[in-house]
Amino acid sequence: MTATRRIALDTNVINHITDTPGLLDDIRLAITRTGFILVCPKMVRIELEKTNDATRRAALLAVYQALPKEEALDAVGVWGVSGWGECRWSDGGPVHGLTFEATKTTGTGGTGDAVVGLTANAECDVLVTGDGKLNGVLQKQSARCEIWTLQQFTRFIDQCLRETGDQ
């Protein structure tokens, strides 16, 4: 069913997993049983490291480190934001049909959102995000990857566990 599905996580998904008791364990079990692959663009870790509250930052990074995942090079680099060696520098043109400027949402995190969205669209089958603006921008541009809400992701994990005999 999900053996090769690649699912990218936005930064806010790490918050959701951190705040939902048992979800990290359920995700690990679902991956073990079904073989889908979680992917985190490098930008996710960069954004988590910028969390102001030290206790919260430690909790988020602990969950991030505990997730069985692949870390993907960001599909685009943004000077002053992207980590050196953690992105692909581009000429500013479209990445799999989407552009950085059209994907960038307004407000806090817009640059990171664009990087995560473009990377998911280039590398994965699905992007999970709790950000309605990013969801809307990607759908408006006809992203090739599916876009799931946090609730859809949680239901997917539950379905994986039910279909493999648990939950």
Q: How far apart are the first and last CA of the chain?
A: 17
- Enter the pTM of the model: 0.83
pLDDT number for residue 134: 74
Kindly report, residue by residue over 100-148, the tens digit of the pLDDT. 444 455 454 577 777 888 888 888 899 999 887 777 777 777 678 889 9
The residues with which 93 forms a beta bridge, in sequence order, are none
The set of long-range contacts for 70-73, using a CB threshold of 8 Å and a minimum separation of 24, is: 70/37, 70/38, 70/39, 70/40, 71/39, 71/40, 71/41, 71/42, 71/45, 72/8, 72/39, 72/40, 72/41, 72/42, 72/119, 72/123, 72/124, 73/41, 73/42, 73/119
The angle, 0 to 180 degrees and rounded to 10, between the axes of the packed helices 54-66 and 42-49 is: 160
Residue 155 has pLDDT above 90, yes or no: yes
> What order of strands is seen across the sheet that includes strand 70-72?
70-72, 37-41, 6-9, 126-128, 146-148
- Predicted confidence at residue 133, as pLDDT, reads 78
**From the candidate CATH numbers 3.40.50.1970, 1.10.8.50, 3.40.50.150, 3.40.50.1010, the one assigned to the domain spanning 6-162:** 3.40.50.1010
The residue type found at 2 is T
CA distance 112 to 98: 15
Q: Return the higher-pLDDT residue of 13 and 117.
A: 13
Contact 137, 98 (CB under 8 A): no
